[in-house]
Structure 1
Amino acid sequence: MEKIGLIADVHANLNALEAVLEDMSEVDKIICAGDLVGFGPRPEEVVDLLKSEKATAVLGDLDHAVVSEEFDLLDELSAEVAGWTREELGGKNMNFLSKLPRKAEVKSGDHEIFVVHGTPQDPLEDCLYPGSSNRTLVNVTRFVNSDAVVLGHTHVPMEKMIQGKLIVNPGSVGQPRDRNPEASYAILRSGEEVEADIRRVSYDIEETEQRIRDSGLPKKFGTRLHFGW
């Protein structure tokens, strides 16, 4: 049986990422469903760490905004952070983000895992929330010939089995929005079947908030970490 760590929406929160990696312990591989950067104060270190972990990652909407400098779809504060992140990232890590695919397929034993930030139809902007109807989940994933679909973007964890296909959103490592401030991730086990469970871990929110303030980033992105919204 293969054990895979699933993460998403790290958003340059190194403290949260380090806590998650320590908590998930030994895994065979790590998959990141996008948004490595944006909102948080340590983009360079987060990208470096995920590269060192050899994580398979896809492009998120904030990643795309940072590397493309296309801020039109962002609100004013998010655009401000994206611009700041562009200035903070070194050339190697900017190049790394620019080459991330919008979709990925990962082989695990006899199973295929499809990875995207938003949805298979709209990799960057679309969302699937836990309250989505079964019909919506079927329609959005029906053309994906994989045993599991890993998503991000909503910052809200989800794990559902629809017509024999596992749909997993591990929630957000760096900025949860489900009223739980603990960093969120998932463990996927690939044996005869694929199954996953969502896990939470606490981290030093105060230090992250202080780094946000010290960096001159909008205070909102530090304050909200305490409340998981």
Structure 2
Amino acid sequence: MPLRVLLVSDIHSNFQALEGILKDAGEFDLALNAGDIVGYGPDPRECIELVRRLNIISIAGNHDFAAATGDTSNFNPYAAEALSINRSLLNDNDVSWLRSLPHAFRQSVEGVRISVYHGSPCDPLNEYVFPAEAERRVTDFLEYAKSDLLVLGHTHIPYVLKTPKGFMVNPGSVGQPRDGDPRASYILLDVEERVIEVEHRRVEYDVKEVAKRMEWLGLPRLLSLRLFSGW
């Protein structure tokens, strides 16, 4: 039987979207999160609690790091305001857990070397690797990370690249997609004896309800509006 691996990223405090993809995915053997559990959305505590309860292995994204440190100096005003509100909703245990998150994850699964970074292997927190650049640099990144499967997040734009050296993927964003499709985005892998099967999935969820909660909390209206368009 192949090992089923769930890949998620950029949940961004969107609990309904997270619940949606978990229901859609069904059972899995291993779950990896490429960062940014918090920020932008209305339910950071609920997302952290669910991620921890399900033992979803997580690394820090730039929003997680900012929530842990309080430093939003490199954020745009909307992101900084949302992060401040998110941080006010967290307790000390939540913040301590975010502070404990590593900036990278590496593990061999069924003979496949998997590495996970939020940004890139060169700049784990902050580098954006968009699809065009990913295609150009995929071989270099796989060699640099010494990986057969490299998982990145941060851009909120999904892609799956296959080369003779291995796979480089971005599962897209669970909670705030930016590829023009507002549905929650994630990836399922089947891994067996060094063979990887990759499936990218999209899931609808109640965007109106999430947007309503964001507005009730006073989060910037721009952030709730973009959930409807997926940009």
TM range (shorter): over 0.9
The sequence identity of aligned pairs, in percent, is: 36
- Paired residues of 2:171 and 2:187 also in contact (CA < 8 A): yes
- Paired residues of 2:139 and 2:165 also in contact (CA < 8 A): no
Give distance in 1, aligned partners of 2:128 and 2:164.
Answer: 20
Partner of 2:199: 197
Partner of 1:127: 128
- Paired residues of 2:142 and 2:149 also in contact (CA < 8 A): no
Partner of 1:75: 76
1:133: how far off? 5.8
Give distance in 2, aligned partners of 1:134 and 1:177.
Answer: 18
Once the two structures are superposed, the pairs formed by residues 175-190 of structure 1 within 5 Å of their partners are 175-190=176-191
Specify every segment of 5 or more residues in structure 1 that has no aligned partner in the other structure, as ranges.
none
Is the alpha carbon distance of 1:136 and 1:55 closer, same or farther for their aligned partners in structure 2, counting shifts above 3 Å?
same
1:110: how far off? 1.4
Once the two structures are superposed, the pairs formed by residues 1-229 of structure 1 within 5 Å of their partners are 1-132=2-133, 134-192=135-193, 193-229=195-231
Structure richer in helix, relative to its length: 2
Give distance in 1, aligned partners of 2:120 and 2:28.
Answer: 25
With structure 1 as the length reference, what TM-score do the two structures score?
Answer: 0.97
**AA paired with 2:206?**
D
SS in 2 for 1:16: helix
Give distance in 2, aligned partners of 1:133 and 1:146.
Answer: 15
User: Deviation digits for residues 136-177 of structure 1, max 9, x if unmatched?
Assistant: 222233221221001100000010013321111000000000
1:100: how far off? 0.4
- Paired residues of 1:120 and 1:141 also in contact (CA < 8 A): no
Count of matched residue positions in the alignment of Structure 1 and Structure 2: 229
- Paired residues of 2:142 and 2:148 also in contact (CA < 8 A): no
Is the alpha carbon distance of 1:29 and 1:185 closer, same or farther for their aligned partners in structure 2, counting shifts above 3 Å?
same
**AA paired with 2:126?**
E
With structure 2 as the length reference, what TM-score do the two structures score?
Answer: 0.96
- Paired residues of 1:5 and 1:29 also in contact (CA < 8 A): yes
Q: Which runs of 4+ in 1 moved over 6 A?
A: none
Give distance in 2, aligned partners of 1:141 and 1:147.
Answer: 7
1:90: how far off? 1.0
Give distance in 2, aligned partners of 1:120 and 1:182.
Answer: 28
Give distance in 2, aligned partners of 1:157 and 1:8.
Answer: 10
Give distance in 1, aligned partners of 2:58 and 2:134.
Answer: 27
